[in-house]
Amino acid sequence: MSRIVLAPMEGLADDVLRAVLTAAGGYDWCVTEFVRVTTTLLPHSCFTRLSPELKTGSRTASGTPVRIQLLGSDPARMAANAAHLALLDPFGIDLNFGCPTPLVNRNRGGAALLDEPELLQRIAGAVRAAVPPAIPVTAKMRLGIEDTGRALDCALALEAGGVQELVVHARTKADGYRPLVRWEWIARIGEVVRLPLIANGEVWTVADYHRIRAATGCDDVMLGRGAVADPLLARRIRAGGDPDPSAADWDEIRAMIGIFWSRVQAKVTPTQSPGRLKQWLGMMQRNYPQAERLFREIREARRAEEVSAGLARLGIRCERDAAIATT
Ligand SMILES: Cc1cc2nc3c(=O)[nH]c(=O)nc-3n(C[C@H](O)[C@H](O)[C@H](O)COP(=O)(O)O)c2cc1C
């Protein structure tokens, strides 16, 4: 059975959006935004703040498991923090070797480590040894920093370090998020490693999903921005029916927006919340003209109550929380 995973997306797919997207169905698990491990032992509150799902069996309200992602470069500190996190019984611990952000990379984290496969192996090995065997340790990597020269070495190093599954985002750090994507490199990695690979990068539609599987030979696929731009994408893939977003889908998405909006307001300040909804609507415009209409309605809104008024004008009610678990 092929698996579909919701990607970690810092500043975008927080617990609120994870809850809404996984409630729509189709995901086997999701991954949190990264937690940065530096010099200290992070308190449990740091993990539960990022992943409140840890308090509910490491699952979203609809029951989708959640893995927690760690980012760092020091094997011993990563291991100590992973062991501390393991006490909260996460569904899995994922290691980030893909983040291209300059601030993170300057501190030797994320994709900046991709020219040091031996370090990748030490980090993976130290974390694996520190965490009870029942908790999967997985990793997510890009193909390299400037080029793909060490992509195979990195994947082999992570396998040797003991990671159980590997997500490959088919770009180098230098590629950033340019549309060019190197799916063929996932296939090449698949020829040299034995561990399960999960293909990731530029899957926006059902057709892309089939293309990435054919190009990479992977059964399993991770969806990132495409999952946000079309909240029903995973379910649409599973259903095997109409492959394109439709006007009928929008009715369901309106309800999702209402739930999202009430949850976001409960979480962030009234001046921060409008940006969160605009961010999501901005991405949905790719698939839904109705999202564009809604975006225009609230574009000038700076405060939560102005957004609520705009949504009400277009007939969107803010659902209360109970609705989300049963959707
Ligand atoms: C806003 C944003 C934040 C991201 N944050 C993370 C992160 O915290 N950890 C990670 O491993 N990847 C992160 N990524 C990368 C995604 O998980 C994914 O690999 C990338 O978006 C490519 O997949 P896509 O083309 O399906 O979006 C992020 C991507 C975006 C767009």
Residue 7: predicted pLDDT: 98
Identify whether residues 112 and 231 lie together within a single domain.
Answer: yes
Residue pair 208/202 in contact (Cβ under 8 Å)? The answer is yes
Is pTM, for the whole model, over 0.75? yes
How far does residue 9's CA lie from ligand 1's centre (Å)? Answer: 5
pLDDT, the chain, mean: 94
Q: Of ligand 1's atoms, which has the minimum distance to the CA of residue 98? A: 11
Q: What's the CA gap between 285 and 295, in Å, rounded? A: 8
Identify whether residues 279 and 234 lie together within a single domain.
Answer: no
Q: Of ligand 1's atoms, which has the minimum distance to the CA of residue 7? A: 17
Residue 1: predicted pLDDT: 76
Which of 219, 239, 259 terminates a domain? The answer is: 239
Q: What's the CA gap between 182 and 257, in Å, rounded? A: 34
Identify whether residues 86 and 219 lie together within a single domain.
Answer: yes
Q: Which among 33, 225, 280 is the best mutation to test ligand 1's pocket, defined by most ligand atoms within 8 Å of the CB?
A: 225
What are the C-alpha distances in Å from 27 to residues 23, 33, 40, 62?
9, 17, 33, 10
Based on its alpha-carbon atoms, the radius of gyration of the chain, rounded to whole angstroms, reads 20
Q: What is the pLDDT of residues 234-257, one digit of tens each?
A: 999 999 877 889 888 999 999 999
Q: Which of 106, 101, 111 is nearest to 154 (CA)?
A: 111
Pocket of ligand 1 (CB under 6 A): 7-12, 33-34, 69, 96, 98-99, 140, 169, 200-203, 223-226
CATH number at residue 214: 3.20.20.70
Residue with tokens 């998020």: 177
Identify whether residues 195 and 281 lie together within a single domain.
Answer: no
Identify whether residues 37 and 104 lie together within a single domain.
Answer: yes
Which of 205, 239, 273 terminates a domain? The answer is: 239
The residue segments making up the domain with residue 105 are 4-239
How far does residue 315's CA lie from ligand 1's centre (Å)? Answer: 32
Residue pair 23/60 in contact (Cβ under 8 Å)? The answer is yes
Q: What is the pLDDT of residues 125-144, one digit of tens each?
A: 999 999 999 999 999 999 99
Identify whether residues 268 and 167 lie together within a single domain.
Answer: no
**What SS3 class is residue 90?**
coil
Identify whether residues 221 and 98 lie together within a single domain.
Answer: yes
Residue pair 265/299 in contact (Cβ under 8 Å)? The answer is no
CATH number at residue 317: 1.20.225
Residue with CA nearest ligand 1 atom 19: 169
Mean pLDDT of 271-288: 97
Which amino acids are annotated catalytic? 99
Q: Structure tokens of 262?
A: 């009430």
Number of domains in the chain: 2
Residue 66, H or E segment: strand 66-71
Residues 6+ apart with CB under 8 A from 147: 172, 174
Q: What's the CA gap between 92 and 217, in Å, rounded? A: 24
Q: What is the pLDDT of residues 28-51, one digit of tens each?
A: 999 999 999 999 999 999 999 999
Residue 109: predicted pLDDT: 86
Identify whether residues 74 and 151 lie together within a single domain.
Answer: yes
Percent of the chain with pLDDT over 70: 97
pLDDT at 323 over 70: no
Q: What's the CA gap between 287 and 220, in Å, rounded? A: 24
Q: What is the pLDDT of residues 155-168, one digit of tens each?
A: 999 999 999 999 99
Binned at pLDDT 50, 70 and 90, residue 218 comes out as very high
Identify whether residues 185 and 312 lie together within a single domain.
Answer: no
Residue 319: predicted pLDDT: 63
Residue 243: predicted pLDDT: 86
Residue with CA nearest ligand 1 atom 15: 9
Which of 190, 221, 239 terminates a domain? The answer is: 239
Q: Which of 186, 180, 228, 187 is nearest to 204 (CA)?
A: 228
- Amino acid type, 263: R
Residue 103: predicted pLDDT: 82
Identify whether residues 8 and 125 lie together within a single domain.
Answer: yes
With b for 16 or more beta-carbon neighbours within 10 A and e for fewer, the 279-315 pattern comes to ebbebbbbbbebbeebbebbeebeebeebbebbeeee
Identify whether residues 258 and 202 lie together within a single domain.
Answer: no
Which stretches does DSSP call E strand in 183-294? 197-200, 220-223
The bridge status of strand 66-71 relative to strand 197-200 is unpaired
Q: Which among 4, 5, 9 is the best mutation to test ligand 1's pocket, defined by most ligand atoms within 8 Å of the CB?
A: 9
Residue 101: predicted pLDDT: 87
Identify whether residues 139 and 260 lie together within a single domain.
Answer: no
